[in-house]
Structure 1
Amino acid sequence: MAAYELTDEAWELVSDLFDPPVRRGPRASVPRRQIVEAILWLARTGAQWRERPDRYGSWSAVWSQWRRWRDKGVWDEAMRRLDAAVREAEGRDPQPSVVIIDAQTTRGWRAGPGFHEKGGAGGRTRGTKRSIVVDTFGLPVAARADSARPHDSRAGKLLLDDALPHLPRVGLGLADRGYRAAGHHVASTQG
């Protein structure tokens, strides 16, 4: 089985999110599981939407469905369910109590997001800052992309504001010194 194909067990955990039993409108021409696997194939290969194999249906149908699911938070909930299943299979609580946060700045070129904003050390960094929160298994909990301009602590606070409402058990956050202010933020919001 390829890395972008869902196992039957994984599909069973999330199928109600992607293919609800009650749906209005015409019947889907491509099964929802096939669309999910098309999106996973695109994420795995990094290919363009129009370059996906024909077996997944039209690129516009796949892209439109991805956008609707993204806007409704379906992908976030699917990740939470699958992460919880992995944690339970390892004999752990489904909710993590410890998270790890870090960021990486990538240089941007003229057309990249945030290129025209000066930021970073001495105002010279142009590009994108990718921040991610993972649990102790390395499973992604939350991610965010910003311009390279904000300091790690500010980007970390924004990311944690999105992540912490879904993580009631978190009592400890691990990070480097750049996140000192974000650590105080965790302590003040989680108690």
Structure 2
Amino acid sequence: MAAPPCGPRLVLASSSPRRRALLAQIGVTPDRIVSPDIDETPARDEKPAAYAQRLAREKAAAVARNPGEIVLAGDTTVALGRRILGQAHDAGEVARCLKMLSGRRHTVHSAITVIALDGQARHRLSSTIVRFKRLTEDEIACYAACGEGVGKAGGYAVQGRAAGFVDFLAGSPSGVVGLPLFETRALLRAAGLPIG
């Protein structure tokens, strides 16, 4: 008979390799990874921060939790004013996003939800202001063609080549990548996950 596992186990409700890499930075490795299937369509007149928080809550709630498991879910939303810039599906959408973001400030809302062993859900929101330099047509075309922004909220990956576009950032750099580590660590510790 197998020995019971020691301590709580972490379920990451995301298939994002970026979130796994960010967790590794604080010494956390998920025991199980689940990609929750939820409708990510924004509600009518839904504000970007509320949208990110709702998706994090719904992703966490969509995971079937076993005894001894803590669930972590997150959502990262890029907003230009009240406009939500979703994931870019192709190079054309990447280019359109970059043209909108060029020379302007935008906000990256990174929401997380942690469900503890007792089923209690805790939530945190990290909002970071990012400003891009004014981008040339060539810079936009080259970045769109490299493929890095496809599948990313707002059409860019700040941990990649797009880091060279950022001339101002106030808030959580890891939140812009996809998981605000200060808030995540605090919530996981509060939920009972031992983190040094």
Interval of TM-score (by shorter of Structure 1 and Structure 2)? under 0.3
Q: Larger Rg: 1 or 2?
A: 1
Instruction: Give the structure-1-normalised TM-score.
Output: 0.25
Higher strand share: 2
Between the two structures, name the one with larger relative contact order (CA 8 Å, sep ≥ 6): 2
TM-score where L is the length of structure 2:
0.25
